[in-house]
Structure 1
Amino acid sequence: MDDPIKQSLDFQENMGRLAVLFTAPLLFVAIKLAGYRIRDLKQIRRQVDSLMRRHRGPWLICANHLTLIDSFILAYAMFPAYRYMIHFHLVPWNMPEAMNFSRNLVVGGLCYLTKCIPVTRGGDRDVVRQSLEKCVRLLEMGENLMIFPEGTRSRTGRVNTRDFTYNVGRWVCNIENVRVMCIYLRGDGQTTYSDFPRFGEKFTMMVEQCRPHTRLKGLRAHRDCARQIIEQLAGMEKRYFAARG
C-alpha cells in the first residue's frame, strides 16, 4: 500500500541530497560571514559523533531556543559541512515556525532542502497534525529530529520550565529505540530572545544525553518525560551561568 507521508519525506530527502553540495557550503559561508564562533568546536563535534556512533538513531535532539536561526547554528556545530555532504542522513530534520520562513520563497526553498518540516503554532489542527505525523514517521524510520521543547523562543531568555510541549515526551514513550540528546546553546551577548544573534557572536554549546524514564501511563507519562527533558536543559543552563560567574 502506498504511504503518502513516507513518499513525501523520501522525496524531500532526495531533493535535499541532490542540493547538499550547495546548501552545506552555503551554511558554512553564512556562519563565517556573520562572524559566529563556537567554543571548543572540535570537542563538541567529537562528543556528538561519539553519541551517534554508539546509537545510529533515531535521536531526538532537544535544544533551548533563543533565536530564529538556532537550528542552523546547531547543525553547523554538530558536524563539519563536508560530513553532511558525504553523509546526508546526519542532517537532522527540524520543525521551524512556518510564519518565520514561508514568506520568502527562496528562504522557504532552502528550508525545504535542509530537511525542515514547517509547523504553524496554534494553526489549523489538521495541518499541525500532519506535521506531527511526519515527525513520528521520521523517528520510526530511524531518522534524527531536532526540536525545541519549549515550543517557541523563550521570552525571558531562560529555559521555560512551566510552559512546554508534551510531544517530545509522547515520542519517547511511544516510539521504540528513541534516544534523547539535549543541547544548550547560548551566545555571550544573548540576554533574551531575538531574531538573530549579534554579529561576531561567540557561543557556548553543551551536549548531554538525556535518559527520561517514568512509571506513569498515558498523558501523565508524556508530561513526565517531557518535564525531565526540560529540566535537564534548565540544569545545563544553570551550569552555564555558574561557569560564567
Structure 2
Amino acid sequence: MNIEAIIVVLLLLSPTAWAGSQSAEKATFEPETIKTFAKDVEKYAAAQGARAFIIARVGRPEKELPKGIKYTHTAIAVYSNIELETGETVQGYAIHNLYQNADKPNRSELIMDYPVDFFWGAQQLKAGIIIPTTEVQQGLIKLIAEGKNTKLHNPKYSVIANPLNSRFQNCTEHTLDMLNAAIYQTTNIKQLKANAKAHFTPQRVKTNPLKLMFGSMLMKDVTTKDHPRKVATATFSSINRYLAKYQLVHKAVEFYSAQRAVAI
C-alpha cells in the first residue's frame, strides 16, 4: 500500500474524521461565541418545553465527512439542577455522552458535560436537535436518574459500530440504545438489539470497501467485524427517521447561530 493511499485512509477513517466523538480540547470559535451559541440552544430547547432531547454537533469540517453523514457526535441532554463551583445551584441542560478515549481510541467512557463543553470543539455553529414525545422524554429522564443508562454502555468502541448487535458501540448507538430503553422500558441488551433489528434502519456507510478494510487493519477504533457484507451505522439522521416513522418526534430541527431553526 503506497503512502498516498495510507494518507487517504487516515483522512477518511480516523476517529476525528468519522466520529468527532472525543471530549473537545481546542476551540474553533471564540469562547464568547461558543457560549452564546450554547446558551441559544438551551433557550430554544427550553422554549419548546424539552425536558430531555437528542443533541448533535459537527466535530469535523463538512468536506471531510462521508456522504450522508451530517453530524459526528450525538448525545442526550436532560434539564437538570446543576451545581456551580460557587456552590450555587442553577437549572440547565446536562449532556450525557459516550466519549471515545483519547489515549485508547478503541475504548470509550460515559461523561456528563454541559452545552458549552459540548460545542467547544465544534467546526460549525450548528446543532442537531430532536425533541421526542413527552413519554419518551420521561423514559429517558427516569433511565438516567436511576443510573440505568450505565447498563447500556459497551466500552468496546468502533467509529462505525453496527447498532443491530452489541459487539462494539459508538456515541450514536449508545444514544439509540438509551432511546430504545426508554421506549421499551427495559435495559436487557439482547431484547434492545432484537427490537432495533426489527424496527431501526441504520445508515449505509458510503465509502470504498477497500478503504474500510485497510482502515480496520491500521486503526484500533475502526473495524468491520460486527458487520455483514454491507457496512451501516447509527447516525443522527437515521435516529430522526426512526423516531418519526413511529410518531415519536415532537420537533426536529437544525439549529444555527442567530437563533435560526430549520425543520428537518
Per the normalisation by structure 2, the TM-score is 0.33
- Between Structure 1 and Structure 2, the one with more helix by share is 1
Per the normalisation by structure 1, the TM-score is 0.35
Structure with the greater relative contact order (CA < 8 A, sep ≥ 6): 1 or 2? 1
